[in-house]
Every structure is written in C-alpha cells, then in structure tokens.
Amino acid sequence: MTENIEQNQLRSEDGSLLSNFVRSVEDGLERRDRKSVREAVLDLHNSDLADLMELLRPDDRTLLTQYIGDDLDFSMLTELDEPVRDQLVEELPNEQLAQAVVELDSDDAVYLLEDLEVSDQTDILSQIPEIDRATLQRSLDYPEDSAGRMMQADVIAVPPYWSVGQTIDYMRETDNLPQNFSELYVVDPSFHPLGFVPLSHLLRTKRPVPINDITDSDLRMISVMEDQEEVARIFERYNLMSAPIVDDDNRLVGVVTVDDIVEVIQEEAEEDIHRLGGVGDESITDTVLSTTRSRFTWLFVNLLTAILASLVISLFDATIDQMVALAILMPIVASMGGNAGTQTMTVAVRALATRDLGTVNAFRVIGREFVVGVLNGLLFAVILGGVTVFWFGNDQLGLVIACAMVFNMVVAGLSGILVPLGLDQMKIDPAVASSVFVTTVTDVVGFFVFLGLAGYWMF
C-alpha cells in the first residue's frame, strides 16, 4: 500500500476523498494486508471513514470493519448513508452493538437502533444499564421523524435558586452529563422549564450570583410530537443553538441541538429533490434491485401519461399526414411547456415545504405566474414563429405555433403552481406527485392546442 496520506491531504478541491487514497485502501483489502489497511484508516476522522466506507464494495466494507476491530469508533456509524449503515449493523454482533449504544449519545443510539428488528432491539437493550434502557425505549416509542425521536435525553437542568458556583461544581462532579452543550436549562420542582442560561454567560458571572439572575426566560419549547421539519423551521426562524423538548405536561424530557438540525435540513432537502424526480428515498449506495423497485412505480405512471398524450396526437393523425412539419414541431411546443411548468413547480413545491407559500399569498403568486407565462410565451412565440417561417416558408404555420406557444406557456405556469397547491390542500405530498401531473397537462394541452389550431386554420 502507498505511504499514508496526511489528514489535510485526504480530500481534493471538490471535497471528495482522493482517488489514490481510496484505491490504496482497496488494494490493501484485496491483498488482505491487515496491517497497512489499519495504518491507513485508524487515524481518520469519523466523517472521512464513513465516506470511505460508502465508496467501498459491500464485501470490502465488512472486511474493513473486521480489520478495525475493537478500535472502531461507533459514532462513525451515524455518519453513514442508511443502506450502508444497515448493512454494517446487521453484520455486527448484538454484544458489540450494545457497547456502541452505551458509548453513543442517546440521540445517536436511537438512530442506530430504530431500524433494527424488534427482537434485536430487545436483545441489545437487555444488555445495557436499566436507566439507559428506559431512556432509549422512551425515545423509540415516539413517532419516527418526531422531535422526541431525534432529541438527546441527557440534558443539564438546574433549579433557579442555585448559585453560579453550585452549578459549575455540579457540572464538574457529575458524570452522566452531555459531552457537548452550549446552554443549560432552569427548571421548577416539577421539571417545567423556566428559561435557559448560555454557557458563556455562566462562565462570565461570579460564583455567588443566583442562577435566576442570569436566566433568559425567552424560551422556545418544542413538543416531543413535533415533526422534525417543523423543528428545523423553528431553529431557522429564531436562530436557536438548542431547544428544550417537553412532553404533554410541559416537563423537560430532552434537548435538540443545532447539529441535529443541520442533518434534518440536509435530509429534508434531499428528500424533496428525490421526490421531485420520482425516486423516493433512494440513495447512491442502494442495491440494483432496490433502486429498480423504487423507480419503477413513477416510471409506470409516466408511461400511462405518455400514452394519454399519444392518444391526443392520434386524434389528429390525418392532419399530421398532410403536413410532416407538424410532427417535427410538436415536440418543441410540448418540451417548452414541460420545462416552464417544471420551473414553476419546483419553486412552488419548495415554497410550500418552507411555508413561504400558503392561502395568504396564493392568489398573488398565481397572478405572478400567469403574467410570467404570458410574457415568456410572447417572447418565445416571436422567436419560434420566426424560425418556423424561415425554416418551412409557411406564414400560417408560424402563426399557429406562435399561438400554441403562448397558450401552453400560460397553462404551464398555472399548472406549475396550481397542481402543488391543490395536492397540498388534499394532504398529498406535492413533491411526490406534482411532476407527473404537470408534465401530463403541458404535454396534452401543447399537442391538443398546436394540432387543433393547425387543423382548424390550415386545412
């Protein structure tokens, strides 16, 4: 294997791991050179090791995990794409997973446990201390993608009558506190949050001062049942570093920190992008069979809508037979409308996801898209009409395609906004279903208007 690469030289300018480093690890695994592989990877940051794991073949991942052995930092597992994480977790014995659960923060431990079979969860939880088991079981009982599922159960909470000195001594002497935190919470005897104290304020205040004197009561409490996407919006809206999670009785049960929110934002953004493309929760590390299965459904729906568009064309087969130019120009009208509709739809779906689009401003946005559709339609009508006249020497055909372009661009803009709004009102995820409906509308309308006008005016 090649000589070890320095940590700051592991990645190229675009942020990806250097190909020669990845190949050197692959070569070492192929030669079963355990010593050189360990020398190459033991000092890697968890994120770098996770990226390396995702680039390797499944068998190589397993072998690399075996070579690392007891030196494996289990927090690396939380950095992996879900399919890769599931593969490695399935191959690790439950005894080792129980050790991982104890070492990890509670939110990371839940992330590791949540997709396991119930029997494996039960076996792993039975091997850890009772207090940790109760904490993790409570988090696992909350719905997936809820604040309760993603929260860290370990939280620093102190009464308001303590002094700054008492609080600092408590944090120094208590073992089962979070490893990293930026704020501590002030609670009443029933564990209801009263406010918070930033760590920086605590350390800059003299020891005799009561905690109550430096408590900030402007607290944004979040219910354990709140969806993680809404939690992310709250963090963004109020510039939070952390937020207390409370149960139905408003008792403090955990905390969500900004590092968790960064992951949620990335996850939700990826989810929206994938759904707009009709690929669901697909990952680049998925197997061929799972990828084929996830894409088939919406490809089949697209096939049905394409057949519908073809049926519209078949209504005008006699018209097309009389002028071949119509067959040449048809895809242009449909394609322009489809692209215009997709542009509007993408903006609308994202605005709905971020709550920037709703009933308050819906009519204003619809009106804007109508005007944009008219203006773009007129501009492209002039361009395409001129090209058509120059190409085929037929003024009527140029006028027909110009009118069809204006009409379809307007319809594209309106469908791009109305379809997502309508689906959202029906409680259907617009990111999943919008593209199929918008494309169908623009194709059908584009073909029908263009061929219909041609048949009416020219024949």
Cα 453 → chain centroid: 44
Determine the pLDDT at residue 142: 93
- Which residues are CB-contacts of 124 (< 8 A; sequence separation ≥ 6)? 94, 97, 98, 101, 113, 116
Q: Is the pLDDT of residue 99 over 80?
A: yes
pLDDT at position 202, please? 95
- Going along the chain from its start, the domains and CATH numbers come out as 7-145 (1.25.60.10), 157-258 (3.10.580.10), 288-458 (1.10.357.20)
- Give me 365's structure tokens: 């946005």
**Orientation of helix 34-41 relative to helix 58-68, angle to 10°:** 80
**CA atoms of 53 and 35, how far apart (whole Å):** 18
pLDDT, one tens digit per residue, over 129-172 is: 998 899 899 999 999 889 999 999 889 999 999 999 999 999 99
- pLDDT of amino acid 250: 95
Q: Which residues pair with 157 in a beta bridge?
A: 185
pLDDT digits (tens, 9 = 90+) for 2-30: 444 455 577 777 678 888 999 999 999 99
Length, in residues, of the chain: 459
Q: What share of the chain is helix, strand, coil (3-state, %, to 5)?
A: 65, 5, 25
Check pLDDT > 70 for residue 459. no
* Distances from the Cα of 331 to the Cα of 317, 325, 335, 392, angstroms: 15, 11, 6, 16
Under the banding of pLDDT at 50, 70 and 90, the label for residue 338 is confident
pLDDT (tens digit per residue) in 387-421: 999 998 889 999 999 999 999 999 999 999 999 99
Does pTM surpass 0.75?
no
Statement: residue 97 has pLDDT above 80: yes
| Spatial distance between the Cα atoms of 256 and 229, rounded to a whole number of angstroms | 13
Distance of alpha carbon 261 from the chain centroid: 11
H/E segment holding residue 223: strand 222-223
Q: What is the pLDDT of residue 277?
A: 65
pLDDT in tens, 347-366: 898 888 777 888 888 999 99
User: ∠449-278-436 over CA atoms, to 5°?
Assistant: 20
pLDDT, tens digit (0-9, with 9 covering 90-100), for 183-226: 999 999 999 999 999 999 999 999 999 999 999 999 999 999 99
What would the two tokens of residue 81 be?
Answer: 């794409």
pLDDT of 3 reads 44
pLDDT of amino acid 13? 75
Specify the pLDDT at position 8. 53
- Over residues 101-119, the mean pLDDT reads 88
Of residues 161, 149, 162, the one with CA closest to residue 115:
149
